[in-house]
Amino acid sequence: MANDALNFKGRTALVIGGTTGIGRAAAERFAAAGANVFVAGLGKDDGSAVVAHIRKVHGVDADFLEADVRRESDVQAVMSRAVERFGRVHAAVNNAGTEGRFGPVHEATAEDFDRLISINLRGIWLGMKYEIEHMLAKGGGAIVNTSSMAGVEGLANVAIYAASKHGVIGLTKSAALELARSNIRVNAIAPGAVDTGLLARMIAGKVDVSVIAEGTPMGRISQPAEIAEGIVWLCSDAASYVTGHTLVIDGGTTIG
């Protein structure tokens, strides 16, 4: 590999929320860098497809466990299974998330709020909880949490989603401080518009994706693989002095 700092050979990456979109792209990028990969998330068929692709194309090992991050027992089982399968987790990505209802904040229901927070914030925390316990016992590691452009600025009509993503950044920064002397780095990514099912569902019938692309300084939305590059870099030795950081990958949207 041209850049040894991005070489994960002999290491294991855990990607929670890795069956589709950004998570799947991250799992495949870790595999391309030589890592064995444990994938967790919803969608048994999607998860099995990711594992099969990784084994066939990248020649590393991979495994999958279906899990709902709203259930602590599921998240605990993911960590246990990953350790049982590969012995140690060196890098972990907490990517599971949902878009919620598009519309004014006062039209949201209590159920909307609880669902978004339980997946997008509590789910991230649960992943971190068990990953950190493992990494403290094993001498270190790197964690990346998926926030959003909506985690660094306000966005109309997705207020609860934005609140959950702001929360992810708060968790990330605070955990990074707690773990800075324990050889565990904790960072976040904040993607802008990405060509995923989540974006399509979020704006369906409300906004055309071409309008979002046109409103982006670079004139297009991103592909999941572009976000995955940032995730893998943050987990790599190339980012050895980076912790508590939120890497905004948004084509310039938030600086406009």
* Domain ranges, residue 177: 4-248
* Strand 62-66 versus strand 36-41 pairing type: parallel
Catalytic center residues: 161
What confidence tier does 216 reach under pLDDT thresholds 50, 70, 90?
confident
Give mean pLDDT, residues 239-248.
98
Q: Evaluate whether residue 229 is within a structural domain.
A: yes
Give mean pLDDT, residues 16-25.
96
Q: Evaluate whether residue 255 is within a structural domain.
A: no
Q: Evaluate whether residue 228 is within a structural domain.
A: yes
pLDDT, greater one: 5 or 157: 157
Q: Evaluate whether residue 253 is within a structural domain.
A: no
- CA dist., res. 34 & res. 36, Å (int): 7
Domain count, the chain: 1
CA dihedral 193, 195, 51, 66 (to 10 degrees): 60
- CA dist., res. 143 & res. 90, Å (int): 9
Which structure tokens are listed for 200? 């399509």
Q: Evaluate whether residue 200 is within a structural domain.
A: yes
What's the pLDDT tens digit per position in 86-110?
Answer: 999 999 999 999 988 889 999 999 9
Q: Report the mean per-residue pLDDT for the chain.
A: 93
Q: Evaluate whether residue 49 is within a structural domain.
A: yes
Which CATH number is 50's domain given? 3.40.50.720
- CA dist., res. 24 & res. 236, Å (int): 18
Q: Evaluate whether residue 256 is within a structural domain.
A: no
What does the radius of gyration of the chain's CA atoms come to, in whole angstroms? Answer: 17
Q: Evaluate whether residue 234 is within a structural domain.
A: yes
Q: What is the pLDDT of residue 222?
A: 86
What's the pLDDT tens digit per position in 125-184?
Answer: 999 999 999 999 999 999 999 999 999 999 999 999 999 999 999 999 999 999 999 999
- pTM for the structure as a whole: 0.94
* Strand 184-191 versus strand 246-249 pairing type: parallel
